[in-house]
A and B are shown apart, each in its own frame.
Chain A
């Protein structure tokens, strides 16, 4: 059995270095071709007719006028008359034409006779959703009633976090074309190796006929796994247009209406504690909605899971609104916001610093020492001691405050296969049916292969983005880095073993006495008994060495190359103008453990980005529904607000890189760092004002409403 384990931290030459992403030049020069950039010969443009109503039945569809528009090549009404539509924006007809302009004209020419039905699109008030709320059952641990009755201090409060959208900058869609029975498919996807099979099922052709390519993709955040209606319909439009390529990407309004949301979450929370801050009881009555399918309960109480007496009641609310999709750390940002807001308000009732409250109750978490260390580190980086004050204490109309949010996540590696080839000319390639969704996966795979083979990164060509390569899991749930680093490592070590066998006779030692160092194959520890990589490769013979490596999640713990379980603490400092209600970020601190960090540079970028996403959700982002029309009121980018460059303040990222974490192996990072920030910011506003804004985003109107007649001077 070959030795796969990672070289010790101090022996690594490439892994652990701050490497600029390899596809950076292609991206920053505008040459990188995303699926939406492809313009193959004979390209047609696809556009869909979508429902203007949130709930309605189709009586009839008349596409004759659309078909008559010059340039239109195919019109497909794939929803039958009589069908009931459950959200505005639902896809009904797909049209392709020689120009996008003609396709849009044709969309406008489709006549649909509707029977409009009543809808419910807003969920912040549970009393108003009627029968749309479905109880999910009660969970009880211990005796929450008794514990709450006996508590020295009790908190009762309501909190809410609304639906937000993914708002991927490259919209959902694909270019697709037929060549004979082969379907060339260029989706903007997070799932190169699984999307073909799903499309095959949708359109009824064998997966063997579908060739997926996705070199770059413009953001997914959990929303770009399936081929979707638009993938299937683009394939059919292409077929009906003689196989000509069809480009069908959602326009911005449709993108924000149907291409995925993060479910809302609301909760009435009760917490009981002893006067020394020991938490004894938790009760929550919560509800959430991610569209017509309702929404599941976030894992609350979050992180502090072992509160001895707990009761959870939850209701899923079915709304006539676009469906949920996984959203970077599904249900965790909501759980962190609800829990950490309530704990901060409890601390205020106890006249305690929330940092002290969390420290005191660290025993209720599954990793007490890690959270204590991280809270201390974050406090040091934030200068918490000097910045924290009793809630609302301070002078002047502009108030500053600090707050905390915590996070946990799994992040074990997904199933992944890699093929590594050493050619007789010494060149090396690694192939995986994985994808680089902007996290730097391509670069990390190259680093792992180069490290394992003792070569510079420039000597390794990594190929991802095709389903013809060995299958690798979808990029979701922070599972990619663990999966691809493990499969690549094993493929490289397996290939190296084969190379050693070929080279050993020339160096006069058994193969297991060889090592690959600095572009040489040498007798272990003896650079004088060596040959260059190129000379070694010439011993291979005419056929290249091709070896596979595989990450099997069930075996990963035993092998130790990747593992799961990441903790994180984030702190925020804000400044609130009590006259305008405007909240400004001053500083954010993120302390993150993520095991062995392959590339600290791109890893830090992940955490910076996650902090900024948290700023978006804490201060700006909300999908606003209109109960009158049943539509999204802000399906655009001027009213669906995201943070801009002036909104972020200073951000300090502390990757907790140290031997003790490194030994655990590689752990995914994308989700855990995208969780705690929203709570931290909301809590910082509470600390600044002494008043809880129960809903995020903490917009100026919500601040002013919460302040009422309270004056700050």
Chain B
């Protein structure tokens, strides 16, 4: 029999409904896999007692008949989500010891449906990073390796622990968050599927804030179907988040017919970027062919402001971060520096924040402080917000011309080695998000689908971008792409 932890959410759901397996057995299989996967450093706070209690409750509920799709499904939770009574540190030392007295709305929705929490997952500190190398817990490691090479690779970031855990079958699915590509880039690096829904679909309440106008939660799973099932459970209107929309949540799984005949897929010419490896271009071409073979009409489009997305992002995101992270002051929660005799409250703030924040977080807070400071607010921040409006207008015009979804590469490369970017300047690392960040700025849904491997045997992903609020249609196109690509490779177990 298949190892239970390798099941997809859909397979496990069906087996649970038929009484062929129990949630307790599924959960034990995952807990066992986690115990054996210390080398991946994906799970940073394990919650086996909570998991087994939730599994037993789920089994009782399943026996009683009607249970939601996620009832009894073991999941990993990104450390950015506040989970009641369980360490929630955003991978930062400044939140050392913090155990929230409340539950985030998204995890609350998952647990209300009967999902099981295996533990908290590694990530970049405050979700700021593209390689999981800024974490206070140390690097998460990609279960994939280059052929014949033992170099440890990044699982991507910021949701690196989530991607690593799903790819290595430590859990059936995981939560992620995506501010500039933090779900889609790690999914592309690990051969997994992840969707960032339209801004406002998932409540941000109880998720540690990075850049509030860009942050969205989403699922990271083994298949498109699993993403549809899990996203369904995560979405809700939440009065506690004023940007959460009061729209009905459609049945995303029901949208997965695989029929995309007559759909129009746009190929943005600006995403052909200099310096992008030929393998990525070839994968993109194959993706176009696959969608055309499935009956879609593929058209060339233009998104002229694409080039300005990353610079706009690196004004807006640090600006919002500098404001959001002002709350970490050593007063209400987390770390407080040891003070010298005579130190006052300003010294307490300054020492606490210098000790508690890692270097990338400090850098972004200070860049944000600078662009918001008197005299520069218009030149940087307001200009970036206007450029953002133009980026959104580009997408609006493409959709108005009849495009249903846009196909792009997910990342400019396959997973790179941990430490390989160490000598690069910060901007080099930021380029990882070049294909994904436009989607956050425009607030659109975007999904990453594994579509092939490179010559070293590493997974590569394609991204599909959809119309706002049409995640169901987008997931259906992703499903057609997934079927056509037939990506079934798994990393060879070395850990």
Are A and B genuine complex partners?
no
Measured CB to CB, the residues of A under 8 A from B are none
